[in-house]
Amino acid sequence: MLTVTDARRLREFEPLGGVMAPRGESHELQHDASPTVFVERAHAVRLRIDDLCQRRLAERWHSGARIEHCGLDEEFYCDSLDDGDVVLAAAGAARAGLVVEDELRHVLLLAREASWPHKQAADAAHDLASAASDRLAELARSSHWEVTAHLSQRLVSVWHEEGAILLPRCFCRLSVVVDGVNDGGHATYRWVEPSGAPDQHAIDCVVADAFEQSERLRTAEPPRPRVLPAVLAPDAASAVSHELVGHLLEADNWETARGFLGDRRNLGPSCLNVTERASAEHGWGAFQRDDEGMPTLSTPLVRNGEIVDQLVNKHHAAVRGSRSNGHGIRASHRDPAIPRFGRLETEPSTIPSSALIADMTDGIFIHSISSGEVSPKTGRVVLRIREAWDIEHGRRTTIRRGGTIVLDARTAFDGLIAVGDDLTWFNALCRKQGQDIPVADGAPSFFFSSLSIS
């Protein structure tokens, strides 16, 4: 029973959305339009050390609950898990007819009672960052450098029609930057389990990779602006697939993209095959259930160059009259669950990657991309080159840094001739609509007959 005080507090707690949408008549549509209660408790430790030996430690805790019906139609949330907010959130959900109070209390308490090793995480971040900075101080004496150790732990509980599900959401990374994040050397080690933390050898490798890249790029010039054949190493190729397939085929982006794509289903040649594999058992970007409690399905997106599916959450599934394939992800309880990919794989061929360069008389080898983004409204993709090499008569010659690749989603893959056999995975944090989540991109080398470099 609610007390008078609880009722007064409830009047101050208004829904963020509008009137609840009616449920559909089919069983599947009712299933995907059912209420979702999302609860989390999170702790993050971030330690940054720079070449002036300045140490900046930040710790952040947050916890809260969010209750949704049919995605964005009716929402409630609270930003803590004390007893008052538990009652408040439960009463708000009951008033909307979403869940009964006792069920919601149970879910909230599951997250509230979880223990978090705060000191252990802080100590681990300190040890990792210190080990890397000590090594960098020996190597990069005349360079500016920065080390960041970031450990984030989240316990998520999702309530839906099948009951309460506990979902760990943890990711950690050790980043090393030498002489600037865009123009210098950069290397990152990422892991998702405590047992995956880097040992001293792995730390030394991360430091060495960043330092050696900064040394290579120190005197490099930008590539000449022109149109020419190009081979993209797996690092760069994965960025192309990330923007042009992964984001393009997230349901909300896809609805916008149809404005410029129309009914076009062909995205590239027959060698282009892409599948979303977030349902993998382990790994960066993996999740077996999404943040709406739905099972995550391995989803083929492109087959033989043809678009065959998109990534949907409960809201977009209800609009389509279909079932969610389990890709509704949110960065925190304050954010709505939006369609996201977790692990995107572009399938390799049997062509040796070395053969893609061997017959090229004049071209460019793009080793890595520093950043990129796609506009769902226009289909314009911008990729900024970190490291590249001129190719002359099948050999890499002059190193380059900087430069930009601008692509149109409608024609970007028209020049793709072949993909290599060297599938490689890369882990990253991806931002969409202000939400950062861990994602992994796997791709082989790409060979383009022509690519415009500016």
Residues 194 and 233 in one domain: no
End of a domain among 217, 249, 268?
217
Residues 270 and 400 in one domain: yes
Contact 440, 343 (CB under 8 A): yes
Segment 312-317 mean pLDDT: 92
DSSP states of 378-397: T-EEEEEEEEEEEEETTEEE
List CB contacts of 76: < 8 A, sequence separation 6 or more.
13, 15, 16, 66, 67, 89, 92, 93, 96
Residues 291 and 414 in one domain: yes
The helix-helix angle for 101-112 and 83-95 (nearest 10°) equals 150
End of a domain among 200, 217, 234?
217
Residues 201 and 281 in one domain: no
Contact 363, 229 (CB under 8 A): yes
pLDDT tens digits for range 94-142: 655 555 566 666 656 665 555 556 678 888 899 999 999 999 988 888 7
As to burial, measured by CB atoms within 10 angstroms (0-12 exposed, 13-18 middle, 19+ buried), residue 404 is middle
Secondary structure of residue 176 in the 3-state scheme: strand
Q: How many domains does the chain have?
A: 2
* Euclidean distance between CA atoms 428 and 4, whole angstroms: 49
Residues 271 and 231 in one domain: yes
> What CATH number is attached to the domain comprising 175?
3.30.2290
Segment 297-324 mean pLDDT: 93
Our CA angle for 137, 139, 142, nearest 5°, is: 80
List CB contacts of 11: < 8 A, sequence separation 6 or more.
none
Residue 147's DSSP bridge partners are 49, 176
Beta-strand (E) ranges in 31-118?
35-50, 55-69, 74-78
| pTM score, whole prediction | 0.86
Q: Which residue has the higher pLDDT, 152 or 96?
A: 152
Residues 152 and 20 in one domain: yes
Residues 177 and 274 in one domain: no
* Tokens describing residue 295: 């099972």
Quick count: other Cβ atoms within 10 Å of Cβ 121? Answer: 20
- The mean-pLDDT minimum among 72-86, 166-180, 288-302, 437-451 falls in 72-86
pLDDT at residue 7 greater than cutoff 80? no
* Euclidean distance between CA atoms 371 and 387, whole angstroms: 12
Residue 37 CA from chain centroid, whole number: 23
pLDDT at residue 93 greater than cutoff 80? no
Structural domain of 190: 4-217
pLDDT tens digits for range 191-218: 988 778 999 999 999 999 999 999 999 8
pLDDT tens digits for range 353-386: 999 999 899 999 999 999 888 888 888 889 999 9
